[in-house]
Amino acid sequence: MLYSAPLPYHADACAYFAAIRDMAWPAWLDSSGCGRYDILSAAPAATVVTRGGITEISNADGVYRHDGDPNEALRELMGEPIAPMPGIPFAGGVLGYWSYDLARRYHHIPDIARDDEALPEMAVGIYDWAIIVDHQELNARLLSRLRDAGTERTLEQVLGKLNSAKPDVPQGERLKVRGEVASNFTPASYRAAFTAVKDYLHEGDCYQVNLAQRFSAPATGDAYPAYLELRRTSPAPWSAFLDWPQAQILCASPERFLRVQHGLVQTKPIKGTRPRSADAAEDARLKEDLRNHPKDRAENLMIVDLLRNDLGKCCEPGSVQTTRLFEVESYANVHHLVSTIEGRLQNGKTALDLLRECFPGGSITGAPKLRAMEIIEQLEPQRRGIYCGAIGYIGYDGAMDTNIAIRTLVYSNGVMRCWAGGGIVADSTCEAEYQETRDKAKAMLELLGRFGGGCCNVG
């Protein structure tokens, strides 16, 4: 059964998010004008939170524990899959984040880096309804598959809120970044970590390692106005704002991790970056340099090979193909080198199986994946948490779309944090890799500056 109520179309979905934001666990998967759909929901029928080896499930019946694989808990909660419907990306299912450190459930990774954030490794809701804004068909609908007993009552409440939706004027104390934005690397310590990576590369431990630095500053107030500013200045097709008890998550990701649609699988790894230039001729030169640079193409191809192998664990033999190689995608602050890999799920395999086998994305680890993750754990001072994990949905119908959680700010416990990294290979130079992290972080650091943050103390 499908519940569908038409809504007025708005090119900007922020008014709809404002209408539901006072409900529990509000979430906005935001195309930022770069993609077809915005997906908004709140008041999940259940929440699923994993910390360490324990998954806590809360629903109308109470709170209980699941001690096994967190993805198996999700499989049980979603129940039997239902048939997909054309033009409906999501009308209920799992929506939330899977942090980079959830990989500790599936891989043996040493426990070295500090866990400063202390956030759940997974936090998702089982949402039984969604607002879908279709920017291709220029329509909006409130949709549900009505699988939870309380959904009809919730839909009445939601419709009342939506009928009075107005352009969003954020309420409460505006975000204030207090003090200087600091990196967890000094130039000297970054160089030491870079040198260690190069040593591992020369010794044959791995072919590529993604090394990231973290920027942080104390803050107070509500981060939602900062998200509205982020999406204005750095629109990206896999953006998201999660306004949850654990944290406010502001994401402007340009990278799709995994999509499953009617059994077809797609991933779009990014490897290779150049800054944008205000001068058109220089901007075009940078774009062509990225497209044709041997190092960037080699780096991209390493990750393509890794992801082809990952997809092959759940896809039909022979179905995994690289359909686009070394394409340049341009965003507000950077050009990226992007490839597209596609396949078809094997019979009996699901989106949850695929997510587990491919997690975390190879574009943000390096290759081979496990050895690269061990080196990252050794050299990065803090755990990555949500950064480099995934944000997205898995529907009751088996469809999935998730991003790589890069260009992401996480605001929790009075601290705003963001990260930027880059893949180091044998012919990388420290100066170029360090500058690449600065180019990727530029928009986020400028955002923190507009909300009061002082200049970062490195670079």
Q: What is the dihedral of CA 210, 368, 259, 136, to 10 degrees?
A: 40
- For 397, phi then psi, to 5°, come to -90, 5
- The sign of the torsion formed by the CA atoms of 363, 365, 366, 371 equals negative
Is 255 labeled as catalytic in the residue annotation? yes
Angstrom distance (rounded) from CA 9 to CA 105: 42
- For 21, phi then psi, to 5°, come to -70, -25
Please enumerate in sequence order all residues whose Cβ is within 8 A of that of 284, keeping only pairs 6 or more positions apart, or say none.
none
Which of 255, 299, 374, 436 is the catalytic position?
Answer: 255
- 285's enclosing H/E stretch is helix 280-292
Q: What is the dihedral of CA 199, 203, 207, 208, to 10 degrees?
A: -20
Angstrom distance (rounded) from CA 167 to CA 173: 18
- 38's enclosing H/E stretch is strand 37-41
E strands, 301-363, are 321-330, 334-344
| Listed residue (236, 371, 364) closest to 299, CA to CA | 364
User: What's the DSSP call for residue 345?
Assistant: B
52, burial (CB in 10 Å: exposed 0-12, middle 13-18, buried 19+): exposed
Angstrom distance (rounded) from CA 195 to CA 198: 5
**Distance from chain centroid for Cα 47:** 19
| Listed residue (133, 192, 95) closest to 10, CA to CA | 133
Task: Judge whether 29 and 38 are in contact, CB under 8 Å.
Answer: yes
Which of 198, 268, 271, 287 is the catalytic position?
Answer: 271
Is 357 labeled as catalytic in the residue annotation? no
Q: Write the single-letter amino acid at 155.
A: L
E strands, 237-333, are 238-243, 248-253, 256-261, 264-267, 270-275, 321-330
What positions carry a catalytic annotation? 255, 271
